[in-house]
Structure 1
């Protein structure tokens, strides 16, 4: 099975490759792309891909933009932390829809579904999958639970820190720091990508590769050069928080929601 991965987070794409290798060592990952532009360039030309694993949020936009620019006639498995895109995903060749963090058993099921469709020469979701997506959209399935408390390091102690008390997370000299609304800084174990997946996306936003911000900590937004945004927060961050042009519209929509 020859697979192309479209994912803008390096840790996420590496995790996918790891899971694929665990599931079936014969799976070959042909390419990994992190932008809409790169994916469009690839699928505009002849290629050997049989299946695409595609994140919805990419470095330069939303992956659905790919389908507006080039025809992809092979099945797609979408991966994302945001379930509101489920129905749209179904409309563009999707054979499955996986919510992050990716579960190995669910990924295995998606690959099995792909194999079945190849044998039966069919494409697209069956009625059961469509019903599941519709239930997901309308909130009829169990809602995802988010982390309420982080166990953080303070000197030689581990203390519980309520998620709602965290103004923002940031990478500082290779470590993840949680800055509280009272301007206390704590060290948090793990990766920023994993922390992002554990947070309620209506409250926290991944502003850039170094920072996740709580909407309640945001004081204002300032326009920066080349369509970027500067996020002012309270407490004031040690480093300037800049949102890229590619994420600026999404960030403003999130702030206004």
Structure 2
């Protein structure tokens, strides 16, 4: 069985490919795509794939943008940390929805459903009810506190007090509304998955911003955006042209 992965994190795509072949050695990953642009270009041409595993947040935007530009006529299993996208996902040919980190047993069940439903690519009522339950109950589990090192001790920093996270000379730091800075012993990708996406936004590969920390959005060259925050950050915070519209919509909620 030939499958296509749409995933912008190398570690995530490697792990998914490993799990797939572990579950079924006959599964072959024939393509890995990491952007909306690359995905559209790929599906505009003939291919041999029979199933797509698709993350929702890609390097240059949201994967739902793909469906505005090209028709994908094979089933899709979405893989993401953001369960608020579940209902939207099932409007675009999806047969399942897996939350990261992906569990091998759940992945195996999803493949079984693909085998039994590949002639009927929609979602049935039982799946919809399960998704509604997921959305109502899973979203309360976002990270509330980070333990950070301070000298020879660990202190709790409430997520509600953090204005933004950013990478500074290789270190991930959290800056609080009280204008304190702490080193966080997690990758920015892991922090992003632990945060409520209604409150925090991954502006680029270097910054995750809290909505309330944003003080101004300025137009930048090439249709990019330049973001001001409080406490003031001395590094420029640039939102790409591809993410500009989504970012403005998120800020304006």
CA distance in structure 2 between the aligned counterparts of 1:251 and 1:24, rounded to whole angstroms:
39
Change (3 A) 1:63 1:142: closer
- Cα distance in 2 between the residues matched to 1:132 and 1:12: 25
Specify the alignment match of 2:48 in structure 1: 48
How big is the alpha-carbon RMSD for the aligned residues of Structure 1 and Structure 2? 2.1
Once the two structures are superposed, residues 160-209 of structure 1 have per-residue CA deviations (whole angstroms, 9 ceiling, x without a partner) of 11111111111122221112222222111122111111111111111111
CA distance in 2, matches of 1:60, 1:170: 19
Q: Distance in 2 between matches of 1:134 and 1:198?
A: 20
Measure how far apart 1:130 and its partner are.
2.7
What is the count of residue pairs matched by the alignment?
A: 253
How far apart in 1 are the matches of 2:229 and 2:71?
42
Instruction: Give runs of ≥4 in structure 1 deviating > 4 Å.
Output: 134-137
Q: After alignment, is 216-225 or 96-105 more displaced?
A: 96-105
- Taking the TM superposition and a 5 Å limit, the aligned residue runs for 1:115-126 are 115-118=115-118, 121-126=119-124
> 5 Å matches for 1:16-35?
16-35=16-35
Residues of 2 paired with 1:219 and 1:8: CA distance?
29
Q: Which residue number in structure 2 is paired with residue 218 of structure 1?
A: 214
1:160 corresponds in structure 2 to 156
Task: After TM superposition, give the deviation of residue 75 of structure 1 in Å.
Answer: 0.7
Alpha-carbon distance, 1:66 to partner: 2.3
Instruction: Describe how 1:39-118 pairs up with structure 2 within 5 A.
Output: 39-118=39-118
SS of equivalent residue, structure 1 residue 208: coil
Compared CA separation, residues 199 and 142, structure 1 to 2 (3 A): closer
TM-score normalised per structure 1: 0.88
Does the 8 Å CA contact 2:145/2:156 hold for their aligned counterparts?
yes
Q: Distance in 2 between matches of 1:17 and 1:157?
A: 39
Change (3 A) 1:65 1:206: closer
Q: Is the 8 A contact 1:59 1:246 kept in 2?
A: no
SS at match of 2:129: helix
Counterpart in 1 of 2:142?
A: 146
Asked if 2 retains the 8 angstrom alpha-carbon contact of 1:4 and 1:31, the reply is yes
TM-score of the aligned structures, taking structure 2 as reference length = 0.90
SS in 1 for 2:92: coil
Following superposition, the deviation at residue 255 of structure 1 comes to: 1.0
**Do structure 1's residue 173 and structure 2's residue 172 form an aligned pair?**
no
Where 2:102 maps in the other structure, the secondary structure is: coil
Helix, strand or coil: the match of 1:143?
helix
